[in-house]
Amino acid sequence: MSPDSVTPGSVRSAVEVNEEIRALWRRTGGTLSAEERAEYELLVVEWAAAIRSGVVKAA
């Protein structure tokens, strides 16, 4: 996944994003290149947004 492939406003669950984060770590063996690090950072931001969205819906 390139940083450009994350669509602003796209809605994925925290579970889906977390699985993609885990797949990234498995694929790289735990060592991220600069490009992979950028991908990871975008995924973490997306994951956090999904978590916040879930909390708001639960409230």
Domain ranges of the chain: 11-58
pLDDT band at 58 (very low <50, low <70, confident <90, very high): low
First-to-last alpha carbon distance for the chain, in angstroms, is 32
Rg (CA), the chain: 12
pLDDT (tens digit, 9 = 90+) per residue, 1-31? 444 444 455 579 999 999 999 999 999 999 9
Structure pTM? 0.74
d(CA 11, CA 9): 6
d(CA 36, CA 13): 21
